Chain A
Amino acid sequence: MPTLRQIRLCWKPLAFTAALLPLLGLLAGAAGFGGARLGPNPVETIQDTSGLWALRLLLVTLCVTPLRWATGQAWPLQFRRMLGLFAFAYAALHFANYLLLDRALDAGEITGDLTRRPYIIIGFVALLLLAALAATSTAGWRRRLGQRWQALHQAIYPAGLLACWHFWWQVKKDHTAPLWYCVILLALLGLRAWRARWQPPPG
């Protein structure tokens, strides 16, 4: 079991760097470092990469609690906020890329999308949920909200479901990839439901 000191000095910086790699990959591609490229449709590459990593990191965040149950130890909790904030950061990049590069801040097009395109609407709702969680992720907000903080932060469950649905809905034909993300999400949520039903919380 890692000590708190090892986590703070070694494991967290490592996880932070790892979570930063997809972003660094995009930056390298955009700048053309070392022959890296973003392909013939860079705006789409940024859109897909940021969206995929937002969802992946959301699922990794949801692994923290089951990992705590499995190990019987508290150290996984040390990573939860950082992972959740990274998930939000990639989701925010996903949305910013859509606004700036894809839609070039065209208010008419953006309003049209946010009122008429269901997959964009549900993606936007997921982003708003993650934004609320990111904003209240500080120790101060946690203290101020008390019991309600826990309830509020369960909003990551609907956010995950909406994100998976958003992914599923924008695929043209081959649903293999979104299907896998849905399966993993449902397994992670199912574990929680199972535990809530069959195992009374300790203490």
Chain B
Amino acid sequence: MLIRRPADIRPSEITPEAVFRSRRRLLAAAGYAGAGLLLGAGAGAAGIPAGHQRLTGVKESPLSSRETPNSFEDITHYNNFYEFGPGKSDPAEQSAGFRPRPWTVTVDGEAGVTGRFTLEDILKPHPLEERIYRFRCVEAWSMVIPWVGFPLGDLLRRFKPTSRAKYVAFETIVRPQEMPGQRSHVLDWPYVEGLTMAEAMHPLAILAVGIYGVELPNQNGAPLRLVTPWKYGFKSIKSIVRISFTVQQPHTTWSAAAPEEYGFYANVNPRVDHPRWSQATERRIGSRFFSPKQPTLPFNGYAAQVASLYTGLDLVRNF
């Protein structure tokens, strides 16, 4: 007897293009009516393709922006992730072979608790929150992204940093077989970043494990990435495998590559131009064709929360 396996998707289940396009228009028109709509409505409703693992128990956060997030498509197809190539579409096109599980994170340096931890160990005690943040790239474009994650400080406290710990350093995985960009020497691998302890403990700094209520796609830094919304995007290091508590200010990849163009702090600052282009304005990705660039805000609009971290610091010299 011939038993046929059912096809994965029956023709009757496929939504005609006209229908899903009209749904998208409806969603755009309705705006982003609170995280609840999205988190409750299921992945399909936000235009999220099938195959993305949903995250459960995600709570809203009062720290979220009220701005309309960019589409899932924009957030996942316009990325700087040089490990997968230098072009904006490279990460989406070249990251399918990356395997973010199993995953471990090494914690070392000036802390009471150090060692190698599985991703599950890292995540277990932390309730997930949705944080809708503005994201400003140093290249003068921006998005609004509904991250899912938890406060970085909550994790760091578990390792009991000593009083000698002044900085936290982060390192991205090196896997040239899975990350084609790492086969070229366009940057010095591994990608490294760092924060002062005060910055790392700030409630706005999060480790993200998802966007739009689903697990982080590979091109967005799966399975664990930093998000510091008041800093240029390159600070928000992706696919983290090492967290080190240090006495000295750690090296960071972009400031090593071009020290006159990218600093350690990299706070969003419309008054300090990049040597080659202006930082006064930014292009919001996904805005309409004829919409002009919008003004960039100090600390990307988070000045009220974070400016006190930098009292007495010359932000022009420490760019």
Contact = CB atoms under 8 A, between A and B. Distances in A.
**Do A and B share a complex?**
yes
B278 A40 contact: no
Contacts of B255: none
Interface residues of B, number: 29
Nearest to A173: B186
Contacts of A42: 289
B283 A43 contact: yes
A43 B88 CA distance: 14
B257 A173 contact: yes
B292 A106 contact: yes
B103 interface: no
B74 A40 contact: yes
Given A113-B278, A117-B277, A174-B186, A39 B89 contact: yes
Contacts of B290: 101, 104
Contacts, number: 58
Contact of A112 (B88, B141, B258, B278): B278
A172 B139 contact: yes
Contacts of A106: 292
A170 B276 contact: yes
A173 B82 contact: yes
B78 A41 contact: yes
B289 A40 contact: no
A191 to B, nearest CB: 30
B276 A40 contact: no
A157 interface: no
Nearest to A43: B283
Given A40-B77, A172-B139, A117 B88 contact: no
Given A104-B290, A104-B293, A173-B257, A40 B78 contact: yes
B285 interface: yes
B285 A119 contact: no
Interface of A: 30, 39-44, 101-104, 106, 109, 112-113, 117-119, 169-170, 172-174
Interface of B: 70, 73-74, 77-78, 82, 86, 88-89, 139, 141, 184, 186-187, 257-258, 276-278, 280-281, 283, 285-286, 289-293
19 contacts: A39-B78, A39-B89, A40-B73, A40-B74, A40-B88, A41-B78, A41-B88, A41-B285, A43-B283, A102-B293, A103-B293, A104-B293, A106-B292, A109-B280, A117-B278, A172-B139, A173-B187, A173-B257, A174-B82
The 6 closest A-B pairs by CB, nearest first: A104-B292, A40-B78, A174-B86, A40-B74, A174-B186, A40-B285
